[in-house]
Amino acid sequence: MIYVCNTITRQGADMAHDHASDCPSCQEPAAAFSRHDHAHCAQDVLERADGLVAQSGARLTPVRRRVLEILLEEHRAMGAYDVLKRLAAEGYGNQPPVAYRALEFLVEQGLAHRIRRLNAFAACMHPGEAHAPAFLICRNCNIVAEAPAAAVRKALDAAADMLGFLVERSTVEALGLCPACRDQAA
Amino acid sequence: MIYVCNTITRQGADMAHDHASDCPSCQEPAAAFSRHDHAHCAQDVLERADGLVAQSGARLTPVRRRVLEILLEEHRAMGAYDVLKRLAAEGYGNQPPVAYRALEFLVEQGLAHRIRRLNAFAACMHPGEAHAPAFLICRNCNIVAEAPAAAVRKALDAAADMLGFLVERSTVEALGLCPACRDQAA
DNA sequence: GCGTTGTTGATATGATATAACGCATGGATC
DNA sequence: GATCCATGCGTTATATCATATCAACAACGC
């Protein structure tokens, strides 16, 4: 099962709509890749982020918090320079290190993910919950979904263990076709 | 099990030694991450590459073949610009596209792998054999091993399938500690 | 206050990757 | 052989991604 708020895109898919906090699509398991609102999921993530960071002894400074907000607002995988443009427009530093440092911090804290295939970053929609997501990237429409991948991670650990290798972090990304583009192709 | 010829490095680990073609370490399963000769494995791969490319209707041109040879000789993950330097020194073009085009071709043909975490490329030691390797990268000594990952791929396919996503290509990379560095740390 | 630590801003540079153009080659066709 | 076409190569230029370094400043404990 996957929660819709896992769904993120690289190019922005204009999927916002307003709704009350009882929106079932943010409360219950649902099909990934479906259009959905994101506003209150984002709000929820932000609130939890505050607690999580404090808990780890780190500080969610204004720049860092703003970067997380931007990732949540955009709801897609963004390049560091995309983030930087937004920061600069809002009066923060406009040098690459500003964005990279904040993004690195968020990744370390488990509040964001780095998607290497896209040289991009996306907010994690499940901060605090232990998870090892796999990213599914549609080669046609560029939508990206964060899929649960506990089984994948387990298989990887096993394969590594046979070689005596200890896995600390892993990257699992798949390129292919999302349901919509798959139908379209057929 | 993994065959030693899976073992590749990013920084070059000086693991060459000469031996006869009956070297057991290239004939039989053995521990990964161990030092080993690579010369005749490379020769074998090259010969198979010729056949495979012809079979697919593509052409293994001089530049492309040379890039594959270089990857095999170096026996490690190389950046595109590392490859380019070698090419330039041998009279081929010395502009980035020359290296990138050849590398992209090799990846498409399944003769090389791209390791995104390192922004690097490595020759595939099992061309033609269906395989979905996982890369194990030691964060301490930078050694890289190509591990069999059929089970990982299977788990990924299953996770994607639950979302209706069709996986065409996948990237599985792990960062951690190789056996040697693990022992050293303990 | 005062040092220590961590964060930010700025400069500069390094590293990786692609777009676009034109020429050369080689094979197919007439 | 002449022509056409597809493919590959070399080149220029540029785009994109990422980091090293240092100075200024704020937060904190002592």
Considering only the beta carbons, identify the residue of A31, A139, A173 that sits closest to B171: A173
Using CA of residue A50, residue A53, residue A54, residue A58, what is the dihedral sign?
negative
Under the banding of pLDDT at 50, 70 and 90, the label for residue B44 is confident
Top-level class of domain B4-185: mainly alpha
Helices B39-55, B62-74: crossing angle, 10 deg rounding: 150
Q: Return the axis-axis angle of helices A96-108 and A80-89, rounded to nearest 10°.
A: 120
Structure tokens at B123: 């020759």
Q: What digits encode the pLDDT tens for the residues A110-149? A: 999 999 999 999 999 888 776 778 999 998 888 888 888 8
- In this complex, the answer to whether residue B79 has its CB under 7 A from any atom of chain D, a nucleic strand, is no
Residue ranges per domain, chain A? 4-131
Given its phi and psi angles, is residue A23 left (phi above 0), alpha (psi -120 to 50 degrees) or beta?
beta
Domain A4-131 grouped into CATH 3.40.50.720: no
Distance of B93 CA from C22 C1′ (whole Å): 16
* Whether A148 contacts A1, CB under 8 Å: yes
Residues of A within 8 A of B2 (CB-CB) are 162-163
Which band of pLDDT confidence, cut at 50, 70 and 90, is reported for residue B4?
very low
Whether residue A3 has pLDDT greater than 80: no
Q: What is the pLDDT of residue B176?
A: 93
Interface test with A, best of B118, B140, B171 (most A CBs within 10 A): B171
B-proximal residues of A, 67-96, CB under 8 Å: none
What is the predicted pLDDT for the residue at A36?
A: 62
Q: Does A172 touch chain B (CB under 8 A)?
A: yes
**A95 sits within 7 Å of strand D by its CB:** yes
pLDDT at residue A70, rounded to an integer: 96
pLDDT digits (tens, 9 = 90+) for B122-144: 999 888 776 778 999 998 888 88
pLDDT class for B171, splitting at 50, 70, 90?
very high
pLDDT higher for B97 or A15?
B97
Summarised one tens digit per residue, pLDDT across range A71-80 is 999 888 999 9
Q: What is the pLDDT of residues A142-172, one digit of tens each?
A: 888 888 889 999 999 999 999 999 999 999 9
